[in-house]
Structure 1
Amino acid sequence: MIRFDHVCVSYPDAAEPALRAVDFTVPEGELCLLVGPSGVGKSTLLGAVSGLVPHFTGGTLHGRVTVAGRDTRTHRPRELADVVGTVGQDPLAHFVTDTVEDELAYGMESLGLPSDVMRRRVEETLDLLGLAELRDRPIATLSGGQRQRVAIGSVLTVHPKVLVLDEPTSALDPAAAEEVLAVLQRLVHDLGTTVLLAEHRLERVVQYADQVVLLPGPGVPPVAGDPAGIMAVSPVFPPVVGLGRLAGWSPLPLSVRDARRAARPLRERLADRGPVPVVPPQKTAPVAEVSGLSVRRGRIEALHGVELTVRAGETVALMGRNGAGKSTLLGTLTGLHEPARGTVRVGGAVPHRTAPRELVRRVGLVPQEPRDLLYADTVAAECLAADQDAGAAPGACRALVTELLPGVPDQTHPRDLSEGQRLALALAVVLTARPPLLLLDEPTRGLDYAAKSRLVTRLRALAADGHAIVLATHDVELAAELAHRVVVLADGEVVADGRTAEVVVSSPAFAPQVAKVLQPGPWLTVPQVAAALADEARA
């Protein structure tokens, strides 16, 4: 169905080709997973399937890409629209209408499908993706995860033969991600749809893949093969594979179920011990205090009766399904939303009544869409502006960019960065001011495991230095590794607030992979298990 024949993609002034010697085939009715570190060309490869590369992006494509027998060199994207459905990393860039139902119907209208067919497919897609309650909602009022589902649904209604998805679960809560992946499985197995997707959260998808294509690094030819074989050599891998590598299991497990079957000896070795507990800061001063908070957004009460105190040096993970109110709470802490009831104080100030220049010295927010913070034409200009706005020493922001995002040239335009790279740049811009309270909305969206590890290291250092950190995330692995506390929101209310180990282990939805594999033990992460085994070896 999809065939790459010796494909190379290069852009003017680039030191290396974006893709080199790409040569693989995806048969009809298979799910092919594209993996690799950030910035190695995954989005470029996906764009070559839909014809966006090179017809829209420019550059030069050598070799041949065919989809359902159509050569993408001679067929422009509009001539492939009935065969290939594409959802990029940024759902907002995908939308052309104002409401959910109109967006689901738009692609079919463009292809001139009969109205009765359109109506039936819209209803089917609303049910498939759990969007029925949102059908009349303006897209502008949806959460990031809800927008992601609408973007996927707008492609599904066309019934394409090939689905191309770039980070399809990155903004989804665990339950919504499972729903989307179940739909993809149904399309592959029941309808023979071919799916090619790139995803950094491999713990969610690798067990469903028929084939994995690994892009090891810039300009390095990809390697294609069966999932277990590729995961054995891949520089990026999910926690369950990391645990399998650590324990020496063969074949490597790709799912929690397979790992539990192999893990009995490991559970017995760890039965009489536990990880070093993560101790939250004690009796430090509150940096943010929320009491009885209710916030309305249009007709919707997005938050109701929220109580929350965040102390200096504390890292708090906000979790909950899409639309639970996590982003609204972060926005209220930065003065973007005025409370309907209750009080909010950040560093003694009331956010919505404090001038932005004063508030930025108390709190910094990295939003879900990092481009909202980026205005300059180059990375260097963004860093210079950040230094000036924060009153920091020259080069402070650039040093943070180098730490979080190695290898990005100064003259790169922010729009030419991948989603994960833009996020790292926006984070560096906010961190330059060293605000006492740092708010992060989906901070690992688009980040590979290495970039996530660098982010965790940086955030731990900030917390140790007394900064308070609140992150809204669907990444259960990040919460397990970094957070002192987890606060779970549901329908705008706090339904759980406690130490990370207590909250996530008791929840099937929010438990990390290692906790599921080694339960009833208290283990959350692979590094915790590695440290215990190292201590055992030294004893």
Structure 2
Amino acid sequence: MIRFEDVSVTYEGAAGPAVRGVDFEVPEGELVLLVGPSGTGKSTILNSVSGLVPHFTGGTLRGRVTVAGRDTRTHKPRELADVVGTVGQDPLAHFVTATVEDELAYGMESLGIAPAVMRRRVEETLDLLGLDGLRDRAIATLSGGQRQRVAIGSVLTPHPEVLVLDEPTSALDPAAAEEVLAVLQRLVHDLGTTVFLAEHRLERVVQYADRVVLLPGPGAVPVCGTPAEVMAVSPVSPPVVELGRLAGWSPLPMTVRDARRRAAGLRERLAGRIPAQRTPAAPAAEESGARPAASGAAQRWRAGLRGPAGRAGAGSGAGVAPLAEVRSLAVRRDRVDALCDVGLTVAPGETVALMGRNGAGKSTLLGALVGLVEPSAGTVRVGGAVPHRTRPRDLVRLVGLVPQEPRDLLYADTVGTECAAADRDAAAAPGTCRALVSGLLPGVGDDTHPRDLSEGQRLALALAVVLTARPPLLLLDEPTRGLDYAAKARLVGVLRGLAAEGHAIVLATHDVELAAEIAHRVVLLAEGEVIADGPTDDIVVSSPSFAPQVTKILAPQRWLTVAQVREALA
């Protein structure tokens, strides 16, 4: 169905090809997974299937890409639209209408499909993706994960022969991701649809793949094979594979079920051992003051962040004044109760993960903490200040937010200029932001334009910009979206270091593996209410949806990560 013949793509001004030696086939009716570290050219390969490369992105394509017999060099994207449906990393860039139902119908209208057929397919897609309750909603009011499902649905309705998906589950909660993957499986198995997708969260996807294509590094020749064959040599692999390597299992397991069947011996070795307890670091005395921020940083809040992007939980820092305190918070937006009677305290040195389904209110709560959302009732205080009543230039001394859309914080034409501006805005020593970027994104040069970075790389750059000011309270909205495992490990190291210095961190995430790695507490939200708030192992071990892979494999023992198991065995 899709054929790559010795394909290479070189962009103008690049030192070398983004991808080279790409020579493989995606057979009809298979789900093929494209994996590899960030920046290795996965999006370039996907975009060459739809004709976006080179017709819209520019650059030079050598070799040949054919889809259903059509050469993408001679067929532009509009001439492939009836056979290829594409969803990129950024759902917002995909939408052309205002409401969910209109968006689902738009692609069919463009292809001239009969109205009666359109109506039936819209209803089928609403049911398939759990969007029925959102059919009349304005897309601008949806959460990031809800937008992702709408974007996927909009390319499903025309019934293309090929689906090309770039990070399709990155913004979805675990349950919604399983629903989407189940839909893709049904399309592959029942309708013979060909699915070609790239995904960093391999723990969600690899077990569904018929075959895997690995891009080991920038410009490297791809490695193709079955999931087990490729995972055995891949530099990126899910926790179930890492645990299999640690335990010496052969062949390596691809699923939790397979690993559980082999885990009896490992559970015996771990019997009587207790995972190391994760407690917040005591805040250093000098952390009580915040470094002042210049007006440029305040301008970032004014220019870029104008929209959304229970009971009080007991903070772990006994006797320490909380950095953030939320009491009986309610937020009503567009006649919807986004938050209702929410309470939360966050102590210095504490890392709190906000989790829950898409639309549960996580981003709204972060917005209230940073002053972007005004409460309808209740109170929010950060460092003693009321965020929505505090001047931005004063507020950035107290709290920093890395939003879901990193472009909201990135204005400069190059990475180097962005870093220099961040240093000036934060009154930090020259090179501070650049050092953070180098740690999170090794190999990215100063002259690189932010728009030429992958979604994950832009997110890491935005994080470095915010971290330059070292705010006492750091808020992150889906911080691992688009990050590979190595980049996520570097991020975890940075966040652990900040927490050890007394910074408080609140992150809204669907990444259960990230929460297992760094969170001291997990706060579960549902329909705008806090339904659980407690130590990470207490919350995630008891949740089938939010338990990490290691927990599922080694239950009833309470292990969360491969690192915990490795330390215990050592």
Q: 2:530 aligned to 472, 482, 494, which one?
A: 494
Q: 2:323 aligned to 263, 281, 287, which one?
A: 287
Partner AA of 1:285 in structure 2:
A
Residue 482 (1) aligns with residue 515 (2): no
Whether the 8 Å contact between 2:280 and 2:500 is mirrored in structure 1 is no
Give per-residue Cα distances to partners, 1:80-119, cap 9 Å, x unaligned. 0000000000000000000000000000000000000000
The aligned runs of 1:2-401 (5 Å cut-off) are: 2-281=2-281, 282-283=317-318, 284-401=320-437
Shift of 1:285: 2.4
| Mapped partners of 2:205, 2:421: distance in 1 | 39
TM-score using structure 1 length = 0.99
Give per-residue Cα distances to partners, 1:47-76, cap 9 Å, x unaligned. 010000001101111111110111111111
| Mapped partners of 2:374, 2:87: distance in 1 | 34
Shift of 1:224: 0.5
Residue 454 (1) aligns with residue 490 (2): yes
| Mapped partners of 2:488, 2:346: distance in 1 | 23
| Mapped partners of 2:503, 2:568: distance in 1 | 29
Instruction: Look up the match of 1:537.
Output: none
Q: Secondary structure at the match of 1:290?
A: strand
Q: Secondary structure at the match of 1:352?
A: helix
| Mapped partners of 1:335, 1:533: distance in 2 | 46
Partner AA of 2:426 in structure 1:
A
Q: Secondary structure at the match of 1:394?
A: coil
| Mapped partners of 2:279, 2:56: distance in 1 | 51
Instruction: Look up the match of 2:478.
Output: 442
| Mapped partners of 2:504, 2:333: distance in 1 | 27
Whether the 8 Å contact between 1:16 and 1:218 is mirrored in structure 2 is no
Shift of 1:394: 1.1
Instruction: Look up the match of 1:406.
Output: 442
Residue 533 (1) aligns with residue 565 (2): no
Q: Secondary structure at the match of 1:376?
A: coil
| Mapped partners of 1:32, 1:219: distance in 2 | 20
| Mapped partners of 1:167, 1:112: distance in 2 | 29
Shift of 1:280: 2.9
| Mapped partners of 2:158, 2:365: distance in 1 | 36
Give per-residue Cα distances to partners, 1:129-182, cap 9 Å, x unaligned. 000000000000000000000000000001000000000000000000000000
Partner AA of 1:433 in structure 2:
A
Shift of 1:381: 1.1
| Mapped partners of 1:6, 1:198: distance in 2 | 20
| Mapped partners of 2:51, 2:495: distance in 1 | 39
Shift of 1:411: 1.0
Shift of 1:38: 0.1
Partner AA of 2:278 in structure 1:
V
| Mapped partners of 1:68, 1:520: distance in 2 | 49
| Mapped partners of 1:152, 1:512: distance in 2 | 25
Q: Secondary structure at the match of 1:286?
A: coil
Partner AA of 1:58 in structure 2:
G
| Mapped partners of 2:13, 2:109: distance in 1 | 40
Q: Secondary structure at the match of 2:567?
A: helix
Give per-residue Cα distances to partners, 1:490-516, cap 9 Å, x unaligned. 000000000000000000000000000
Partner AA of 1:41 in structure 2:
G
Any gaps of 5 or more consecutive residues in structure 2? 282-316
- Aligned length in residues: 534
Instruction: Look up the match of 1:504.
Output: 540
| Mapped partners of 1:271, 1:95: distance in 2 | 52
Give per-residue Cα distances to partners, 1:369-396, cap 9 Å, x unaligned. 0011101111111111111111111111
Whether the 8 Å contact between 1:489 and 1:496 is mirrored in structure 2 is yes
Q: Secondary structure at the match of 2:323?
A: strand
Shift of 1:12: 2.0
Range 343-352 or range 11-20, more displaced: 11-20
Q: 1:432 aligned to 447, 465, 468, which one?
A: 468
Q: Secondary structure at the match of 1:523?
A: coil
| Mapped partners of 2:495, 2:26: distance in 1 | 40
Partner AA of 1:500 in structure 2:
T
Shift of 1:436: 0.4
Any gaps of 5 or more consecutive residues in structure 1? 535-539
Q: Secondary structure at the match of 1:509?
A: coil
Range 275-284 or range 312-321, more displaced: 275-284
Task: Give the ranges of 4+ consecutive aligned residues of structure 1 lying more than 3 Å apart after TM superposition.
Answer: none
**Cα root mean square deviation, aligned:** 0.6
| Mapped partners of 2:271, 2:120: distance in 1 | 54
Partner AA of 1:501 in structure 2:
D
Q: Secondary structure at the match of 2:338?
A: strand
| Mapped partners of 1:477, 1:285: distance in 2 | 29
